[in-house]
């Protein structure tokens, strides 16, 4: 398989159009089989549900080239299940989970030449998404939907790669207690744009959102969950009903316990105790694990002992083990790796 001629080591996290995408339509109560197409344009009514009332949700996962040259995806069944939960919460028709996995596999297979080579630091990001495509003017769900999957090669999500980030505690809320924080609704990201632009203008890489009800507990950032490491080496992650259940975070907690023999804990984490942790990282498909060196809370600087130069030791071990599993260097737990067969 001849690869595209890209400067793989230096691509950022942006959109690069690849050859084929998957498109399926829902009409009269049923999904069609879907097709792969070269057409990257979406044509919908000016009154489509997605345009008027933001009826849309999405997923994000990656394909990797392993050490022995195979192309694999990481836990696509977990994305299928989470997308089904997002659809139900947004009154959208579920795209059947097995068909979801098949659709992402078909899309990767059709874009094999775009999967970055092993060792380049880049990966193929896969974006499945769904939206209400029929006309809606009174507030109600659409009758027709489109499910699509595209791929784009990506490098690191944060500029500077593995350099520790400085983030701020946001004064904006991301998710209400019984809202949509636990699903991947497009609307969650629309409402975070002002907060992220503000944070960037102030020189911060990301926002730490607190729980909207009490503003005392750590939730997550705009696109990743938190992991903390205590001074005695325990891995702690915030528990809340209004954060997105990150597949990376759930995988890392398993890796910490089963591969590294660390103690792990999912519990409420109060902003007042953040100063006591030894290490902090942001985890997600795009973020992988990005170390945090400093959190600024209304002018007060909370600097982690791991510093601003490199990842802390535990976060580094978690990073090495997870990426080792994804790249085929370390044996994966059963069912985590989905191999794309070349045809
Ligand atoms: N939290 C938010 C708000 C996200 O958008 C993402 C990205 O998908 C994550 C967390 C990380 O989730 P995952 O590890 O499943 O990619
Ligand atoms: C992902 O990690 O897949 C996401 O959807 C996060 C987004 C901020 C790129």
Q: How much is the average pLDDT of 103-117? A: 97
Q: pLDDT tens for residues 166-175?
A: 999 999 999 9
The pLDDT tens digits of the residues spanning 65-80 come to: 999 999 999 999 999 9
Question: Residue 343's pLDDT band (boundaries 50, 70, 90)?
Answer: confident
Express each pLDDT in 238-281 by its tens digit.
Answer: 999 999 999 999 999 999 999 999 999 999 999 999 999 999 99
Checking if the pLDDT of 162 tops 90, the result is no
SS3 65: strand
Average pLDDT over residues 8-21: 96
User: Which pair of structure tokens corresponds to residue 292?
Assistant: 């945090």
* Collapsed DSSP state (helix, strand, coil) of residue 293: strand
The yes-or-no verdict on residue 160 having pLDDT over 90 is: no
What is the distance between the alpha carbons of residues 311 and 288, in angstroms, rounded to a whole number? 13
**Ligand 2 centroid – CA 187 distance (Å):** 14
Annotated catalytic residue 239: no
Confidence band for 159, pLDDT divided at 50, 70 and 90 = confident
- What lines the ligand 1 site, CB under 6 Å? 60, 220, 223-225, 244, 246-249, 284-285
Nearest atom of ligand 2 to the alpha carbon of 285: 2
Mean of the per-residue pLDDT values of the chain:
97
Which among 174, 281, 284, 289 is the best mutation to test ligand 2's pocket, defined by most ligand atoms within 8 Å of the CB?
Answer: 284
pLDDT given for residue 248 in this prediction? 98
- Name residues whose C-beta falls within 8 Å of residue 294's C-beta, 6 or more positions apart in sequence: 164, 165, 166, 167, 301, 302, 303, 304, 308
Continuous H helices in 157-204: 186-190, 193-201
Give the pLDDT of residue 264: 98
Of all protein residues, the one whose alpha carbon is nearest to atom 2 of ligand 1 is: 223
Q: How confident is the model at residue 207 (pLDDT cuts 50, 70, 90)?
A: very high
Q: In terms of Cα–Cα distance, which of 287, 28, 329 is closest to 164?
A: 287
| pLDDT at residue number 250 | 98
Burial 25-41 (b: 16+ CB within 10 A, else e): bbeeeebeebebeeeee
153 pLDDT band, cuts 50/70/90, is very high
- Chain segment 278-292, per-residue pLDDT in tens: 999 999 999 999 999
Range 201-211 average pLDDT: 97
Whether 154 is in the pocket of ligand 2, judged by its Cβ within 6 Å, is no
Given a cut of 90, whether residue 46 has pLDDT beyond it is yes
């Amino acid at each position: 398989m001849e690869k595209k001629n890209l400067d793989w080591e230096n691509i950022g996290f942006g959109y690069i159009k690849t050859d084929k995408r998957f498109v399926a339509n829902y009409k009269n109560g049923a999904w069609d089989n879907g097709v792969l197409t070269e057409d990257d344009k979406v044509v919908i009514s000016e009154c489509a549900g997605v345009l008027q009332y933001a009826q849309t949700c999405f997923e994000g996962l990656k394909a990797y080239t392993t050490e022995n040259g195979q192309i694999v995806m990481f836990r696509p069944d977990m994305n299928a299940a989470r997308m089904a939960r997002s659809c139900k919460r947004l009154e959208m028709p579920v795209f059947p989970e097995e068909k979801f996995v098949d659709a992402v596999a078909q899309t990767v297979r059709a874009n094999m030449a775009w999967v970055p080579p092993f060792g380049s630091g880049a990966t193929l990001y896969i974006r499945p998404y769904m939206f209400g495509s029929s006309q809606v003017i009174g507030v109600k769900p659409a009758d027709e939907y489109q499910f699509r999957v595209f791929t784009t090669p990506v490098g690191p999500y944060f500029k500077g790669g593995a350099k520790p980030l400085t983030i701020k505690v946001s004064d904006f809320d991301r998710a209400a207690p019984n809202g949509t924080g636990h699903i991947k609704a497009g609307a969650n990201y629309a409402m975070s744009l002002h907060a992220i632009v503000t944070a960037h203008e102030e020189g911060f890489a990301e926002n730490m959102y607190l729980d909207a009800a009490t503003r005392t507990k750590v939730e997550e950032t705009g696109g990743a969950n938190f992991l903390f490491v205590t001074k005695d080496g325990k891995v702690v992650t915030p528990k809340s009903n209004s954060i997105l259940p990150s597949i990376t975070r759930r995988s890392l907690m398993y890796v910490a316990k089963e591969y590294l023999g660390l103690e792990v804990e999912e519990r409420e984490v109060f902003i007042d105790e953040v100063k006591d942790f030894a290490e902090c990282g942001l985890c997600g498909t795009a973020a992988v694990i990005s170390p945090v060196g400093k959190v600024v809370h209304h002018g007060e600087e909370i600097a982690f002992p791991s510093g601003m130069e490199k990842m802390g030791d535990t976060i580094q071990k978690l990073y090495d083990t997870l990426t080792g599993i994804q790249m085929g260097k370390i044996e994966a737990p059963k069912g985590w790796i989905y191999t794309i067969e070349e045809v």
